[in-house]
Structure 1
Amino acid sequence: MGNMWGGNRGAVERFKKTNGDLFAQFEKRSNPDQLINNPRIVNGNETSQQIEKTFCEILELDLITLKSHLQTDQYNAYTVLCAFVWRAIKINNGINCITELIKEAFDTAEALDDAYEETGEKGELFGLPFSVKSNFYVSNFFIKFQYILSVQMENYDVTVGLAKLLEQPKTTTCPMVKFLSKQGAIPFCLTNVPQGLLSYVSSNPIYGTTKNPWDFSRTPGGSSGGEAALLAAGGTTFGIGSDLAGSLRIPAAFCGLVTLKPTESRFYVTDTHGGLPGRGRLGLSFGFYTKTVAEQEFLLRQIVGNPEYLELCPMSSPAELRDTTLDIDKKPTIGWFVDDGFNPVVPSNRRAVEQTVELLRAQGYKIVEIKMSEVSEEFPPFAVANMLFRNVMPDNGAYMSEMYGGEQYDEYMKLFIRLVRVKQNVLISWLIRYGAMPLAKFLFSKRLACIGSAYNSDLAACRQNQENTDIYKLQWIRYWKSKNIDALICPSFITPAQPFEYPAQLSTGAFITGLFNMLDVPAGVVPVSPVNQDDVDLLNDPVDGFPLEGDIILRKQRDSAQKSVGLPNAVQVITLPNCEEMCLRVMKIVESVSVGVQRLQWRSEEDRTETMDEKNTPAGVISSHEYFKRIPLHISK
């Protein structure tokens, strides 16, 4: 049994004991019953009912309004933190999205309030509790508030779900976390990721499986899935994550959130576990999860090009967000496609794009159809997909195979891990590439054959693939310029949120997101509507709905999208490199013309009486409704 944990079973058991104790402490410290007459609680602290009422008022506010209320003393940092910890722990009991709580959070809130009392000054993000994807380093650093040295953080592990990395705390801190803390925001928890990061199901043997708050039988995506799930459920003000092949965007699409993957150099971040050290030509980007585009823009304005951030991370671009691009009157010209030429999307995701484009056309926007097959004669879409997956594993999976060695495999990642490890056997790898994959192309799936043959036979082949990537990037930009477009709208992913067992079988879907890491361009996600019954009915129409082409991958894809009515449905917005301002502008336009998706709101114990059609409602949705109400999202248009 010890070998199942890489010989680290004792560390796993010690962690679970310590972590359980800390959750109990946080639950007690944030319990309204324990806060009666606590002088740090504002707006009434004589009864638990008063305190709970204040907490609920805080938790219903959007980020911008809460920030304003904190700046104008309607709330203090301590009360707001207690409210979010109180709610986040309840949420975590349902969907298992938090891996660790940051011990110093309460001390940080107290220090913020005390510093304000002494100086009368507040940082721009004063008192906003936020969650941190657990691949970000958080270690021994002092949080400084208006030149008052106050709270010292301890060192935290970054395990990414691997037992061998327990009890190896980091000694540096991610500059993104440090900057946000210096502005007065409070990191209070770390959130779940896939085992080793390289998947879009957030599950691992140490921390367990994170559920999508919209449907407890489905994944919130990955690798930033814990972040997205917690924010969608209302347990944090905003989240931060990373994106190597869709790790911000897939969870945003699955959970009904907004995010923007910037150009890598526009907002550079260090001191994180990137998932794949020494990766090929893939832009590793970092960003935020928010509920609206306005919140996204607000947070990006705080950090992108900020001189204080550049002091912490000099490799980041000094270019701030330019108002001229964000606010100009001229309507942008918008391109679109629904077919990437490699992996078709299901009807709901196709409709999301087509419906958005028609709404924009009706508003007078010039719309231009883009065809991926026209971008390059030299590299058709299947060749580009092969190029992408060779960039993901330039060493053919050797690093990943070693990373997973000696570990207990997560039940939802077993297939992926075994495929990675079997490629390290030279004979088996040769048979797969030259025997099984050509056969698979004709018998099972040309898409599976494409990624199965993504192999760099030697260093020269690896170099050639990187050169081809550079050539394709230039061809992409030239094609874009020839179409005279300012932005592009395309599917956010191949399906809505999937049941847990499907991501390991549908890695081909990462092409629609990973392509834009390979191109290293801004890529945002905006929720536009829920999946409807017509979308699901079309799934089962092989002629006009979702042709299967005799492909086992497409059959799995169809099956993964069954019973998805009501789940969030989103689009991607793409721009040229370093044009984040235009990306935000078009995201805001898309948001303004779309119906959007509802928001989840926590149900009180007294409110858990909603009647549902249990016969025709998926069990995971019924479980979700026990915890969350669906409420309209109000966005200023």
Structure 2
Amino acid sequence: MFSFLAHRQACRSKQQERQERIKGLPPVYHAPLTTADKDILAQPVSQVVANVQAGTLKASEVLVAYGKKALKAHAETNCLTEVMIEKAEEWAQSCNTQGPLAGMPISLKDTAAVAGFDASFGYSAYVGKPMEKDSAIVRLLRDAGAVPFVKTNIPITLLSLESKNDVFGTTTNVYSKDHTPGGSTGGEGALLAYGGSRLGIGTDVAGSVRAPAHWSGIYTIKASSFRFLKSGNPTSMPGQEGVPSVYSPMTRTLEDLETIWRAIVSMKPWEYDHACLAIPWREVSLAKEKPLRWGVLWDDGVIVPSPACRRALQEVVSVLEAHGNEVISIDPPSPYEGLKIASQILMADGGKVCTRPMRSGEWNDPGVEQALGMLRAPRFFKRLYAWYLRHIRGDEVYAGLVENWYEKSVPEYMALVSQREAYREQWFKFMSEQALDFVLTVPNALPAVPHGGMKQGWKACGYTFLFNILDYTAGVLPVTHVDRERDALPSTFKARNAIESGSYRMYDAGKMHGLPVGVQVVGKRLEEEKVLEGMKLIEGLLKKEGKAYVLFEASD
């Protein structure tokens, strides 16, 4: 009872604090956007930075424009957690006006440690416990001249592709209030899509920057481990390194994505974070004597991409082929085997660490609840259920996941890490033998799902999770939007397994009409520069063919 009361009180106090911080801002932040504000918001990051460096634009003016827009985005989507604008006014006055991000406001996932502000990431137990110092990424950003000004919403436990918790509430998609912007970095997805920020920082352990990019219509490149700063930030699963979580940038445009990647690497992040590899930015040219070779993963064997997502992938394939690229369908080492290994490693502790801070009565994502329920079920029951799935339902896919879904001992965990390394070796040989420059696939089988969709879709993250266990660099760019007529599900569709069946219960091209659809561009480990160039090539060719993606524009 006392735990529940403490939980409710913490949620009320945090929401009141957020409301008071917004209400207490100077009147200029509550005024309509001016012509000058709109001009600032329309400029790419590189232009804003150049103007601040030249002295023709003040960092405080940039902050006002983005502060206004961010508050509008929050009013529409409930995307903000920590509103740091009052403090950001001080930072803007003293920022490095000659840095590579001079005067540019930047939003941060709620996990980012900013001195003096909470990093509760949805746990009421962490409310009112501000961080004592900035994390490595925050220190670098401020040294580069950037101005952190807001933090954004996430799901409790950080293990969902939605963004909801009792502390801050539910974040909605800018295209449809009935659908999620993604997770776990969903607040960033909504804010960037709305235009309330151009630069954001998120994390990814199973798709947490790529799903929001796909579902909100923005851009990201998930870094390989140790390429991007990470230390000094709290997390829901401290010590979980079997499937490394990585921090990575998210942006409103591809041009801005290149700007922030170059800026951060130019600051020598390895001098801020002991774990960061000392790899300067490497210029990559895709011009070769022979055509680039792209391998397309059309189906991971678990969930076939929906008509909308397959169409987006086909559009990219067609435009690449039309301009002289070599594109082949691939049959790589089993993505399903990768999913089995990765899911067991990630939850090897039985979900104990990520749920330990939760108080009595605290809401949890329905998908995570299902996962925890199965983890805690008796082994005998799971074996019996797996037998039923395999021999009665003919569902080998789900049976293989169920029978291995239990808390692991240390020897079992070490065996899984060994399996992970063997799996990575298989992919290494495959990529080499096929001489692939890139892998192309969908970021998720579906466009943005309805709120509560993780009850059916929590097992459906294989297209992103695969490249976490491989530690490959993977980017996502928006390509098109759902079309209710072209993307309708054929009446002949029949799900192959329980996971696919659950996912397709949510697919409705009519209700999803207009939602963004992205494509995932994958390189090998530590190929961030090359993946960026691949994304630039695709976007350039789509524009050349008159198929440029149209960003969301709010009517304010």
Tell me whether 103-112 or 180-189 shows the greater mean CA deviation: 103-112
Q: Which amino acid aligns with 1:507?
A: W
The alpha-carbon deviation at position 122 of structure 1 amounts to: 2.2
Q: 1:55 and 2:29 equivalent?
A: no
1:219 aligns with 180
> Which residue of structure 2 lines up, in the alignment, with residue 98 of structure 1?
80
Task: Tell me which residue corresponds to 1:561.
Answer: 507
- Check 1:86–1:437 CA distance in 2 against 1; reply closer, same or farther (3 A cut): same
What's the counterpart of residue 160 of structure 2? 199
- Structure 2: gaps of 5 or more residues: none
Question: 1:157 offset after TM fit, Å?
Answer: 1.5
Question: Who is 1:585 aligned against?
Answer: 533
Contact 1:333 1:487 survives alignment (8 Å):
yes
Is contact 1:404–1:417 with CA below 8 Å preserved after alignment? no
Give the match's secondary structure for 2:21: helix
- CA distance in 2 between counterparts of 1:127 and 1:134 reads 21
> For the residues of structure 2 that align with 1:418 and 1:339, how far apart are their CA atoms?
25
Spell out, residue by residue over 1:91-117, the C-alpha distance to the aligned partner (whole angstroms, 9 max, x if none).
Answer: 2111100011114111122334xx8xx
- Partner residue, 2:378: 429
1:352 correspondence with 2:312: yes
Deviation at 1:268, TM superposition (A): 3.5
Deviation at 1:603, TM superposition (A): 1.4
2:522 is aligned with 1:574 = yes
Note if contact 1:531-1:565 (Cα within 8 Å) is conserved in structure 2. Answer: yes
Task: State the partner residue of 1:3.
Answer: 3
Name 1:45's counterpart in structure 2: none
* Other-structure match for 1:540: 490
Residue 66 (structure 2) aligned to one of 84, 88, 91: 84
Instruction: Provide the rounded CA distance (Å) in 2 between the counterparts of 1:533 and 1:437.
Output: 37
Question: What residue number does 1:26 align with?
Answer: 25
Number of residue pairs aligned between Structure 1 and Structure 2: 547
Separation (CA, whole Å) in 2 of partners of 1:440 and 1:271: 44
Which of 420, 425, 440 is residue 489 of structure 1 equivalent to? Answer: 440
Partner of residue 479, structure 1: 430
Alignment of 1:574-613 (within 5 A): 574-594=522-542, 595-604=547-556
Asked if the contact 1:445–1:552 (Cα under 8 Å) also holds between the matched residues in 2, the reply is yes
Q: Is the 8 A contact 1:333 1:485 kept in 2?
A: yes
Q: Which residue of 2 aligns with 1:123?
A: 99
> Partners of 1:288 and 1:415 in 2: how far apart?
26
State how far apart, in whole Å, the 2-side matches of 1:262 and 1:156 are: 26
Query: Is 2:452 aligned against 1:501?
Result: yes
Question: How far is the alpha carbon of 1:293 from its aligned partner?
Answer: 2.4
Amino acid at match of 1:366: E
Code of the aligned partner of 2:527:
C
Retained in 2: the 8 A contact 1:96–1:208? yes
Given that residues 113 and 119 in structure 2 are in contact (C-alpha distance below 8 angstroms), is that contact kept between their aligned partners in structure 1?
yes
Does the Cα contact within 8 Å between 1:200 and 1:250 map onto a contact in 2? yes
Distance 1:368 1:274, change over 3 A: farther
**2:466 corresponds to which of 515, 534, 538:** 515
Conservation of the 8 A alpha-carbon contact between 1:196 and 1:404: no
Is 1:134 aligned with 2:110? yes
Q: From the CA coordinates, give the structure whose radius of gyration is larger.
A: 1
Partner of 1:616: none
- CA shift, 1:278, in A, is 2.5
TM-score, structure 2 length as denominator?
0.93
1:210 aligns with 2:171: yes
Once the two structures are TM-superposed, the CA of residue 339 in structure 1 deviates from its matched residue by: 0.7
Distance 1:276 1:294 in 2: 33
Is residue 230 of structure 2 the alignment partner of residue 230 of structure 1?
no
Distance change (3 Å), C-alpha of 1:56 and 1:554: same
**Aligned equivalents of 1:72 and 1:416: distance in 2?**
50
TM-score (norm 1): 0.81
Provide, for residues 125-150 of structure 1, a one-character-per-residue CA deviation record: whole Å limited to 9, x for no partner: 111111110001111xxxxxxxxxxx
Counterpart CA distance in 2 for 1:79 and 1:334 is: 44
Letter in 1 for 2:75: N
| CA displacement 1:310-360 (0-9 Å, x = unmatched) | 221132111112114467676422111111122222111112222211210
Residues 230, 273 of structure 2: 8 Å contact kept: yes
Deviations along 1:183-221, one digit per CA (max 9) or x if unpaired, are 111100110000121101100001000000011110000
Where do residues 240-259 of structure 1 align in structure 2 (5 Å cutoff)?
240-259=201-220
